Each structure stands twice: as structure tokens, then as C-alpha cells.
A and B are shown apart, each in its own frame.
Chain A
Amino acid sequence: MKLAAFDYAAPRTVPEAVAVLADGGRDVRVLAGGQSLLLEMRLHRLSPDLVVDINGVGGLDRLDVNDGTAEVGALVRHDVFDSPRAVPGPLGTLLALAAPNIAHPPIRARGTMVGSLAWAHPASEWCAIAMALDAVIRLRGPEGVREVPVRDWFLGPFTTARRPGELLLSVRLPLLDAHTGVGFLEHRRTHFSFAQVGVAVALAVRDGVVEEARIGLANCADRPVRAYAAERELNGTEVGHSFVRAGRVAAEQDAAPLAEPYADVEYRRQVIAVLVARTLRQAAEGAPQ
């Protein structure tokens, strides 16, 4: 379908953008990569009155690395992370393992990591990684700048703690130290489908023992999930020994999969268990021995 009519604003600075977003009473939407928003508008599931295109806002395309973190600005496109060198250390490797799973190159050339966090699709790869790594989202609204830890961010499918009028400025992710091995695997029905299950793992290993496991799950519930129970199974155990059990715990305790047309709940739990164990193995292989 063709898009319904809307007003269009293209601010050049963050304060200007925040000012136009504060248009109370109307349905106002930020346009970042547009790879979800314009699709929703085509389907007439969203028909905003005002679209605020932030693509011309200076400074939002920055990717800053300092103090052990990477700060990804709101206009950093998915395809930046196709290269493991975009971000140093294991974090760069993890992002590059996940990126090719997101849609296709022309969509990755437009869509943004921060836009994915704003959109909060339960199957989003970036959302699962953000959960695993305790990312922090930085926003600016009429009341100023605030930061939200990602564990308080996702409130349900496509629902976040963003307040009306707020602009997401960036997301901060830890670089992960050299003792960390990372893994990302996904199961999907066809190349064009979203993940049926996606698993992100960061495994800090010392002397053959799991010091700290971090597991994020995509499309394993109505929102991105952190597999805390599975992590507890792993921490302090010898590498490899509890991977299968951790997979089962993730599937039974952490995940709350919904039935889908081609996958009932039982099948999905089976896939989660297998994929978590496999991703743990992938991460362990990449960890320093």
C-alpha cells in the first residue's frame, strides 16, 4: 500500500530534533533507517501525523570507543558492524557474527542499531546482544538527557521505556576483555525470515573455568531475554561441562516462547536448548585456552 500523508521535518541538530518531537497531541515518529517504520507505514499499521527524519542531524553517526566501551550513535548503520574491526576486541567479533543475520545488505545499509533498540522487535539480533551485555541507552527529551539500562528498557513486544518526545542518542556496549569468547547463532525458516531463535553468548574464561557467562536470546519470548538461570548453571564450572544442561535450563526457565505458525512451543524449546549449547561451544572455541 502507499503511505498515508504526513508532515515531514528534517532537523539538523539534536536540540532542533527534540524541539520538533515535543509536538504533543499528535502521533510523531522518528525516522532513522526507516527499514521498520516505512514498512509499518506501508502496511498502515502506523500512520504518524509527523515524521521527524534525523538522517541530517549532525553527530549522530558517531561510533566512539573509549573507557572500555563502544558508544554507537543513532545513525550508525547495521552494515558498519559487518567488519569485526569496526569495534575492537571480542565485542567487534560478536557484532560481526550477528550482523549478517539482519536482513540483507541494502537494508543493513540503511537500518540502525539504535533504531532496532527503539523498535524492540522480539527477534532483533541487536536487542539480544544488548541484553546479554547490559547495554545502556542514552536519550534526550524535553526534560534533558537520561540513561536507561537495557534490562529496564524492553517492556513487551515493540514496547520500551522511551517516553513521548524522547530521542535515542546512542547505545553503550562493553568492549569485553581478552579472556572472553563470543558466539552468535540463529535458526530461521528461510533466508528471508526473522530469527525463529537467536542466541548471543559472551563467555569469560580463566584457566579452563567459566568466570562469567552472558547469554541473550532473540525471539524466545514476547521481548528480548537475558538467560540468567542458564548463566548461573555455567558460572564457576569447567568449560564444556554444563553446556547441554545450560541449554535445557535456558529453554525451560529463561525462555517463554510463543507458538508460531510453523513452530509450536515444544519445538521451539527444543531448538533453543540445542542452539544455546551450540553457541556456548562456539564461544568457548574462541576463548583463550
Chain B
Amino acid sequence: MKITLTVNDEAYPLDVEPRRVLADVLREDCGLTGTHLGCEHGVCGACTVLVDGKAVRSCLMLAVQCDAKAVRTVEGLAGPDGEPHPLQRAFSAEYALQCGFCTPGFLMIAAGALDADPDQIAGLVESNICRCTGYEPIRRAITHATRGDD
């Protein structure tokens, strides 16, 4: 099926089978391997991306469902000059990553909720799995970035 994915403001005209999920098409057809796949069951959140501004699990959405929609992945966070996004700076400052496997998912779930209040941030951090950090640095990083501290 012919579709056009708009990923990080760039148009990707693609021919994909309906059975392929968004995460696989981002990684294999668009070459954007920043989106990770862990469980592929909607549980771990490593595959979280924004579709039309909302954080979704890209392992539980078909690529053909995103035809003509705007997808944002971790590769689209940094500025055009490579300047890290405030969330990326906060993750670095707070040591919110160790192995980094979960990081794209946490960054994107946070990017979808930059205006979130502190109560919501706890819910966001609980949404994804990190096997390294113990979550607290991630919560701190997201809190700082959403408050706009640097």
C-alpha cells in the first residue's frame, strides 16, 4: 500500500504492507533507528513516538494508519544545528540514562507532555520501563525540563 509518512517534518513516500507496524517502518524503511523495540507488546515504552503530537506506542500502531500524519521521533528532538533539546540536556545533566536503551521512549513520552503538571509526570515515568536508572533521575530530568530550568 502506498503511503506518505511525514517524520520530523520530512516526507517519506513508501510502499508498505498493511501488516507492518510503525516502529518497524521507521527503523527499516526510513532508516530512523533511534526508535527502539523492546517488548513489542505495548508494555515497555521503548518504541514511544509522537503521532500528530500525541505519544503512542509505535509497536501497536500500523504504519498505514499514519498515512498523511505527522510523526516525531527522537531524531527530531534536537534543533537544526544539532543543539540538544532541553529534555536531552536535562537527561544528560541528571544522569537519567545509563545503557540508553529506554531513553528514546522516555524522551518522546516527555516531549508529548512538556506542559504536564508534576502529578502527571509521575504517571509518565511509570508508563515506560528502565532497567538501569531506578527512575528517579528520569523523573527529575523531566520535571526540570518541563519547568524550563536548565
CB within 8 Å of B: which residues of A? 1-8, 10, 31, 34-35, 38-39, 42-43, 51, 53, 55, 100, 103-107, 109-110, 191-192
Judged by a CB distance under 8 angstroms, whether B62 is at the interface is yes
**Which stretch from B49-57, B76-84, B95-103 is at the chain A interface?**
B49-57
Interface size class of B (residues with CB under 8 A): 20 to 34
B18 touching A39, Cβ below 8 Å: no
Does B109 belong to the interface (CB within 8 Å)?
yes
Give the residues in chain B near A1, CB-CB below 8 Å: 40
Write out the residue numbers on chain A whose beta carbons fall within 8 Å of the beta carbon of B31.
Answer: none
Expressed in whole angstroms, the Cα–Cα distance for A210 and B24 within the complex equals 55
Q: Given A8-B18, A35-B42, A38-B61, decide whether A110 and B56 contact each other with a Cβ distance below 8 A.
A: yes
One of A8, A35, A55, A191 near B60 (C-beta < 8 A): A35
How far apart sit A31 and B43, CA to CA, in the bound complex (Å)? 20
Shortest CB-to-CB span from A86 to chain B, Å, is 16
- Which residues on the B side are within 8 Å of A4 (C-beta)? 19
Which residues from B are CB-within-8-Å of A100? 123
Cβ of B109 and Cβ of A106 under 8 Å apart? Answer: yes
Q: In angstroms, how far is the closest chain B Cβ from the Cβ of A38?
A: 5
A106 x B19 contact (CB < 8 A): no
Q: Nearest Cβ in chain B — how far from A53, in angstroms?
A: 6
Chain A residue numbers with a CB within 8 Å of B145 are: none
Name the 5 nearest CB pairs between A and B, nearest first: A8-B18, A104-B127, A3-B19, A106-B55, A109-B54
Chain B residue numbers with a CB within 8 Å of A8 are 1, 18, 62, 64
**CB pair A38 B1 closer than 8 Å:** no
